[in-house]
Amino acid sequence: MSNPPKLLDQVREKLRVKHYAIRTEQTYVDWIRRFILFHDKRHPKDMGASDIETFLTHLAVAGKVAASTQNQAKSALLFLYREVLEIELPWLDKVTQAKAPKRLPVVLTVEETQAVLSRIKGTHALIAGLLYGGGMRLMEAVRLRVKDVDFARREILVREGKGFKDRVTMLPDVLVAPLKLHLAKVKALHDEDLAAGNGEVYLPFALDRKYPAAGREWAWQYVFPARDLSVDPRSEKKRRHHLDEKGVQRAMKQAVRDAGLTKLATPHTLRHSFATHLLQSGYDIRTVQELLGHSDVATTMIYTHVLNRGGRGVVSPIDKMGLT
């Protein structure tokens, strides 16, 4: 009789059944491992809400982690108990919460955005263009599939965005020609892979079992593939994954530096700038909300706070003195 799978393997299996992303899987497993080690390797089934509260409070007080990090750990542990151990926990109301600072997003002016984008080259420039031109998140761009780019309608279908939601955003006219040229090169690379007996790409939601040949079809290929083939850690198949987002982050950082900007701008800043500049141009906030994929318009409202000229548009008394 075979031994039952180890706890962390059970966690991985449950996450895959529920179609969680591999990065979420790695993060959840890491937090569960840290939780077990924190409690001297006791099995989670022998612990409960008070032990979780102790761990999460330790993260906030001793670890001084950000609120988002503490919430991530909490989500991982709740998944473990509810989905894997099938133990319903009482409300965790004794946790010392990490403070979530209320910060406005960093936003570039139109001139600053142009200065940064003009300093990013090659494939990274195309991705940066999609972030600013369509308000996409970085991972949404690098995970983009060929089938989800509609040149005729000038649209991009963003699959499995934040919260597993699909949405449609715009494909800027200025990116059409360079993107078509880029895809021609990607198609040639894919043809080479097929000729070498490769050419398969990862398919979400176990579609590879339902459509065994789909993984080699052109439509399913990544728009921004990696330079080299790699082994999928889940299936152990040799595939061409999507481009590593760290390269885009480095290119953005260097472009900001070369442009002489002092703002701490990242690729996500381009998405913030997209929303702000649309509102500045007079577009309705509901339209911007839809393009960004926000469930609640209150999330989109944060961009209205960066529209006003210093101090909510109030003219400083010193500016009225005419001093030079």
How far is 263 from 261, CA to CA, in rounded Å?
6
What local confidence, expressed as pLDDT, does residue 310 receive? 47
The residue from 162, 182, 216, 253 that is catalytic is: 162
- 212-238 confidence digits (pLDDT tens): 888 899 999 999 999 999 988 777 888
Is the pTM higher than 0.75?
Answer: yes
The residue from 137, 190, 242, 272 that is catalytic is: 137
What local confidence, expressed as pLDDT, does residue 324 receive? 53
Joined together, the tokens standing for residue 6 give: 């180890």
Is 294 considered catalytic here?
yes
The residue from 74, 143, 242, 271 that is catalytic is: 271
The residue from 33, 241, 263, 268 that is catalytic is: 268
Query: In the chain, which stretches have pLDDT less than 70?
Result: 1-4, 100-101, 161, 163-164, 206, 307-324
What local confidence, expressed as pLDDT, does residue 311 receive? 46
Is 39 considered catalytic here?
no
What local confidence, expressed as pLDDT, does residue 315 receive? 63
What local confidence, expressed as pLDDT, does residue 207 receive? 74
Q: What is the dihedral of CA 42, 46, 49, 50, to 10 degrees?
A: -60
Task: Report in angstroms the alpha-carbon separations of 173 from 130, 133, 150.
Answer: 11, 9, 12
Structural domains for the chain: 7-84 (1.10.150.130), 117-243 (no CATH)
Is 268 considered catalytic here?
yes
Is 162 considered catalytic here?
yes
